[in-house]
Amino acid sequence: MSNTLRPRVEPPHSASPAAESPARNARTYHCGTLSYTWRGLLVLFAWLLWGDFCWTLMEAVVPSALPLKLKALGAPNWLMAVIMSTLPGILNMTICPWVSFKSDRFRSRWGRRIPFILWTSPFLCLFLLGMGWSESIAGWAQVWLPPLRGIAPATLIIALLAVFMVGFTFFNMFVCSVFWYLFNDVVPAKFLGRFYGLFRMVGTLAGALFSGFIFKYSETHMREIFTGAALLYSIGFGLVCLRVKEGEYPPPPPAPKGNAFQRLASDTLAFGRESFSHRFFWLFYLWQTVSSLGGAVGIFSVFFSKDMGLNLDQIGKLGAVNSVAAMLAMYGAAIYVDRWHPLRISLYFATFGAVGAFGGWIWLAVSPPPIMYFWMGMTGVLTAFGQALSGNAGLPVFMRLMPPSRYGQMCSANSIIRSIGTVVGGLIAGAAVDMVLKVCHGSNYAYRFLFLWPAVCNIVALVLVSMVYRQWKCLGGDEHYRAPAPWQPEGFEPMTDGHIPVPFRPRWLLLVLNINTLLFALAPPATLGFIIWLQGHGMTRAIWWHAWVFLPVSFLYLGTWLWQASGIRRDVRSVAAGQRPAYGIPHHGVPMVLAIQGAVSWPLPWIFRAWFMTLGREQDIIWYGVATSLVVPFTTLLAYRLIRLIEREPANITMGLDSNPVSVQPVAGVVQSLV
């Protein structure tokens, strides 16, 4: 077989003629015992990305279509949460660590990852088909099994869907566990970053295609959608397993001695001792867990959108357009994840997300026409780069913080804690939604309270990621970070990536401050102009609110921002002079992205306020003004204040093994060279 289709495998220590030719060796790339030409590398990427496309499209079907089917059958929200969140969380907590452990130590002529995917695919597709054909199966069962005839058809279908969902999730866990590890085994290290960017783009494209062209048929053509997903996965992903070849691996570590119980006990004790014995690991696991808990109510978001007046076609188009916009920004955003450090990016987005966490309150007071709400959703494309930047930091933050020698083990430990949180959180979230529905007498208006759950999770996640960030700084930060490693005599393990992120740039930070100053300065004249416009429409209450509340507060916010910006400039000058700043100095990266997004989207609140005015909806103008003129600017001021507090240098920075505090002199040198 040509090595352009499958990688060439060489013995670990063999000297091939290609290696003796500098020109040829320059065009050959290695990953372990695998060697690729440029053409072979491109074909490898094509097969892996095709596999990602098939897998993502298949996985998009279940969480999107199944809640609609369960809702149509009359399943309560707590049961939906159990089926969609709790049971998968239990399986993820138990199956993924076991599969990861076994896969690391498995050897075969097909490799150590692909067999786990290939052998489970038939069963996965079988249960996927079962979900799609659940109504027919229930009908056949009641015909051929008389004891089932006394069960209500809807109840039997729900029971079958739950069984098929558990079976599907069980076998899908094998794929979820090892597919990600396959990249590290077959993709050359120098291309991993670019491959991950392409990987996310293809996955987003698959999700966008489903949202834009398939999701709208979820209620009417569920059988056809699930059947198509099963066929696509079995054929498409099966070809990936046959065409991608793994290389040769070192022999697995010797198994513990003793009987099966003793070996299991020894492995379990080692796993627990190494994975949970350091405070840094616990903070990291809890941060990841709480962050994922915020999505526990995501299965109900479609009902919120429907209560806002959108149909499935509009919901699908919103998802597709925003996904495509994020996909186009994804590859460029991946570059800045390495430059600005994924942990810092996660912290900054968590800060801005937490201070604005309760922004969904506006929909409790305002019900715009469906077409207006649809276009409000479309404005999400303006924040696509920020969304891509935040999303791309998810996996790299693991790679940059976890000790390399125990990376897979730490991922499994994190999965266990996150799964426990998902199980408990899913039950609580489902019960909470049912309780609100009861208070609202069954009205779908109850789904407008969904924002409360992720809001609380975002605030807790900010506290945890702030603690992780402070610990990271104490362990060396950007230049000297060494991961905690209780199994090492010195207690630390050096990181091998050798990549130092770009420090804050005073010129760029000054530009960020100036953009925000301009945005705050534009608020008073814009408010005054809108007051003049309102006078021609006789909306006296709206005029009063704009003249006596929004306009004075806009001047107050402007003065507060100027005071805060002057404090940041003063701290920058202190660092340049070799002195310790009063507060921490924000990194320019994420604030620059958010400032540009704010400048581009600045006219939108005024456009929608004018739209309300043309409809004669004075009360909605007032409430929308409260949100955009009072709440949003306040959250910006609060976010910058929190970032300055979090960025303060810890009192004891160890820089890995060195316990001496970090001096401000190196930072001062950087600033002096740039100011």
153-186 helix and 38-72 helix, angle to the nearest 10 degrees: 160
233, 337: one domain: no
Asked if pLDDT for residue 145 goes beyond 90, the answer is no
Residues 6+ apart with CB under 8 A from 286: 417, 464
432, 309: one domain: yes
- For residue 383, tell me if it sits in a domain: yes
Q: Which of 451, 486, 502 is the last residue of a domain?
A: 502
The pair phi, psi for residue 31, each rounded to 5°, is -140, 100
392, 435: one domain: yes
Q: pLDDT tens digits, residue range 263-279? A: 777 777 877 888 888 89
State the residue range of the domain holding 83. Answer: 49-195+206-249
Q: What confidence score (pLDDT) does residue 237 get?
A: 84
- For residue 303, tell me if it sits in a domain: yes
The pair phi, psi for residue 416, each rounded to 5°, is -65, -50
The number of folded domains in the chain is 3
Q: What confidence score (pLDDT) does residue 107 get?
A: 80
Type of residue numbered 574? S
380, 520: one domain: no
236, 283: one domain: no
- For residue 254, tell me if it sits in a domain: no
494, 588: one domain: no
125, 160: one domain: yes
407, 306: one domain: yes
Distance CA 585, CA 575 (A): 9
- For residue 360, tell me if it sits in a domain: yes
- For residue 224, tell me if it sits in a domain: yes
- For residue 43, tell me if it sits in a domain: no
514, 639: one domain: yes
- Between CA 563 and CA 574, with CA 569 as vertex, the angle to 5 degrees is 125
Distance CA 430, CA 79 (A): 8
Q: Which of 467, 502, 537 is the last residue of a domain?
A: 502
483, 577: one domain: no
Q: Give pTM, 2 decimals.
A: 0.74
Q: pLDDT tens digits, residue range 446-458? A: 999 989 998 999 9
- For residue 78, tell me if it sits in a domain: yes
The alpha-carbon radius of gyration of the chain (Å, integer) is 27
Q: How far is CA 662 from CA 453, 485, 544, 652, in A?
A: 40, 22, 54, 8
282, 394: one domain: yes
Asked if pLDDT for residue 242 goes beyond 60, the answer is yes
CATH number (domain holding residue 129): 1.20.1250
Residues paired with 492 in a beta bridge: 484
Q: What confidence score (pLDDT) does residue 514 get?
A: 96
Closest CA to 236 of 46, 45, 41, 53: 53
- For residue 37, tell me if it sits in a domain: no
Residues 6+ apart with CB under 8 A from 20: none
Residues paired with 35 in a beta bridge: 8, 30
Q: Is 62 exposed, middle or buried (0-12, 13-18, 19+ CB in 10 A)?
A: buried
Q: Which of 502, 525, 547 is the last residue of a domain?
A: 502
Q: pLDDT tens digits, residue range 218-233? A: 888 889 999 999 999 8
158, 219: one domain: yes
